[in-house]
Amino acid sequence: MTVFNRFFVVSAITLAFAATNLAIAAPQKTLTWSGCGISKKAFMSELAAAYEKKTGVQIKLQGGGATKGIRNVAAKSMDIGGACRHTIENPGTISPVSEERRVVMNPVAWDALVVLVHKDNPVDNITMEQVRQLYLGNITNWKQLGGSDAPVELYARRGKISGVGRTLRELVFANYDQDFVAKNVVKSSGPLEKGIVKNINGIGVSGISSARKRDVKLLKLEGKDPSFENIKNGDYLLYRPLYLVTHLEGQDAAVQEFVDFAYSEEGKEVIRGQGTVPYEDAIRLWLTYIEQQQRALDGGLALQ
């Protein structure tokens, strides 16, 4: 072997060891996410998997609900949050409550609120006014909704700041403090949906991104199906944005890179693939959302 050849072989071996040691010394980047189960089912699980395949960056997912999603990011205990509601404002001010300050709400998708019942329930449609009366406790028998002579058993989320509960109070009642009259009060959307799967007399409201994956019937609202096209076109009545929540200060560049991926065409294709409408596919729905809020203000009920 010539001196040149020996030098080449030794150099190649040295570079190989260096590359191996570099790979061992540079651990895979990991980000953390917590938030509402509806966002997780709508797109987040698949989006995180696609991003890891593309970049090698793993995103560890936890639940906890929209409130934890926002507040964990505000407290810098999570890199990214998932939320299906806005931040909560202090009464009489334009700033969020202290637990939800210093965050950026990045809208990435649209979700519809749907009324779900047992799959064998004969009722197919419900009106906005009937939804109001249902949550006020004034509809107690399925005959009032065109169904059988049987008691209505409403399922509702505990508390008043969950994503679904707060959106209902905002868009249907224009009153964030509105009390709901429900036989079954549960801690999250998962138990709500699972309860209705088993209860022939059950009814409740959840996000379509989660509810459509259950063995339940989704009612038409004012005669409109909660289909992908009806949501995208603004024909279905109840909308809300789904957010990726990031911190306002000292943000890891890797966090913004993931948000950018969610807004990219590749990311939006992943979201569409789950039957969820990407935010930028239907930006004009903000106008519908504002109309919903105005309609609720015009016809909203006072605290009873």
- For residue 269, pLDDT beyond 90: yes
pLDDT at position 299: 60
Contacts of 35 (CB under 8 A, 6+ apart): 44, 62, 63, 64, 65, 66, 68, 69, 70, 81, 82, 83, 245
Kindly list the distances between the CA atom of residue 302 and the CA atoms of 131, 247, 271, in Å, as whole numbers in the listed order: 16, 35, 38
The DSSP bridge partners found for residue 203 are 117, 154
The better pLDDT of the pair 294, 73 is held by 73
CATH code of 115-238, in short, is 3.40.190.10
pLDDT at position 153: 98
- How many Å from the N-terminal Cα to the C-terminal Cα in the chain? 94
Q: For residue 46, count CB atoms less than 10 angstroms from its CB and return exposed for 0-12, middle for 13-18, buried for 19 or more.
A: middle
- For residue 259, pLDDT beyond 90: yes
Q: Are strands 103-118 and 125-126 parallel, antiparallel or unpaired?
A: unpaired
- For residue 72, pLDDT beyond 80: yes
Class of domain 30-110+239-288: alpha beta
Q: Which residue, 224, 242, 245, is CA-closest to 289?
A: 242
**What is the percent of the chain where pLDDT is above 90?**
62
Residue 280 backbone dihedrals phi, psi, to 5 degrees: -75, -10
pLDDT band for 6, please (50, 70, 90 cuts): very low
Q: Which helix (H) or strand (E) holds 278?
A: strand 277-278
pLDDT band for 28, please (50, 70, 90 cuts): low
The answer to whether domain 30-110+239-288 and domain 115-238 are alike in fold is: yes
Q: How many CA atoms lie within 13 A of 154 on its CB side?
A: 21
pLDDT band for 2, please (50, 70, 90 cuts): very low
pLDDT at position 296: 66
In angstroms, what is the C-alpha Rg of the chain?
24
Q: What average pLDDT is seen over the chain?
A: 86
Q: For residue 140, count CB atoms less than 10 angstroms from its CB and return exposed for 0-12, middle for 13-18, buried for 19 or more.
A: middle
pTM of the model: 0.81
The better pLDDT of the pair 21, 61 is held by 61
Q: For residue 74, count CB atoms less than 10 angstroms from its CB and return exposed for 0-12, middle for 13-18, buried for 19 or more.
A: buried
Q: What is the mean pLDDT of residues 274-293?
A: 84
Range scoring the smallest mean pLDDT among 93-97, 124-128, 142-146: 93-97
pLDDT at position 108: 96
Question: Tens digit of pLDDT for each residue in 156-169?
Answer: 998 888 889 988 99
pLDDT band for 41, please (50, 70, 90 cuts): confident
Question: Tens digit of pLDDT for each residue in 230-250?
Answer: 999 988 988 889 999 999 987
Return the domain boundaries, the chain.
Answer: 30-110+239-288, 115-238
pLDDT at position 21: 43
At 18, list the tokens: 């260096």
- For residue 303, pLDDT beyond 60: no
- For residue 32, pLDDT beyond 90: yes
Residue with tokens 């138990």: 191
- Give the other-Cβ count within 10 Å of 53's Cβ: 8
pLDDT band for 117, please (50, 70, 90 cuts): very high
- For residue 9, pLDDT beyond 70: no
Question: Tens digit of pLDDT for each residue in 190-230?
Answer: 899 999 999 999 999 999 988 998 999 999 999 999 999 99
CA angle centred on 212, ends 57 and 140, rounded to 5°? 135
- For residue 182, pLDDT beyond 80: yes
